């Protein structure tokens, strides 16, 4: 952790408790997440803990973000790269939540990954504070703009 339980992400701090952990079993197409991911996507926590098809999460995205996110996931799978994207999650009644996710695939079979894991966090001005320059790079997640 960096300074009392926050993680530096591109010169901002996100409280560690705001990071939701997720994993995707690509063989069974079960996407699982913790309670924070369930809150971010407004999905039942027990249902998400057991796993939902990844399409259920893609269906929660703003219509204009879906194609870009699907393409980014596809690229990460095929090219063995990190999928790092920000997008909007639809909350209903014209409201959206700005989200950042960082995912990495692993566990290869026949040249393709079988699993994906990472974190998802809500990006909102009230949660973000300017971060000082990192002192200990081993405890910092640093994202580069693509």
* Tokens encoding 102: 């960082």
Tokens of 93: 């009644």
Q: Which domains does the chain have, with CATH numbers?
A: 18-124 (3.30.450.20)
Per-residue pLDDT, 114: 95
Q: What pLDDT shows up at residue 132?
A: 45
Q: What is the pLDDT of residue 18?
A: 83
- pLDDT score at 13: 67
CA dist., res. 71 & res. 66, Å (int): 9
Q: Where are the beta strands (DSSP E) in 3-111?
A: 6-9, 12-15, 19-25, 30-33, 83-92, 95-109
pTM (2 d.p.): 0.76
Place of tokens 């790269």: 81
d(CA 103, CA 59): 18
Task: Give the pLDDT of residue 17.
Answer: 79
50 C-beta neighbours (distance < 10 Å), count: 10
Using alpha carbons, select from 53, 2, 3 the residue that is nearest to residue 25: 53
Per-residue pLDDT, 11:
55
Determine contact, residues 55/69, Cβ cutoff 8 Å: no
pLDDT of res. 10: 57
Q: Which residues of the chain have pLDDT under 50?
A: 1-8, 125-146
Looking at residue 72, its pLDDT comes to 94
């Amino acid at each position: 952790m960096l300074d009392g339980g926050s993680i530096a992400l591109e010169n901002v701090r996100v409280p560690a408790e705001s990071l939701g952990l997720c994993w995707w079993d690509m063989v069974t197409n079960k996407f699982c997440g913790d309670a924070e991911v369930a809150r971010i996507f407004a999905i039942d926590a027990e249902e998400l803990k057991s796993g939902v098809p990844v399409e259920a999460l893609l269906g929660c995205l703003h219509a204009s973000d879906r194609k870009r996110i699907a393409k980014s996931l596809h690229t990460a799978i095929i090219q063995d790269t990190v999928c790092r994207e920000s997008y909007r999650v639809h909350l209903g009644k014209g409201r959206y939540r700005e989200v950042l996710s960082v995912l990495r695939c692993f566990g290869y079979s026949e040249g393709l990954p079988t699993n994906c894991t990472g974190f998802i966090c809500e990006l909102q001005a009230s949660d973000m504070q300017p971060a000082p320059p990192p002192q200990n790079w081993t405890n910092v997640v640093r994202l580069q703009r693509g």
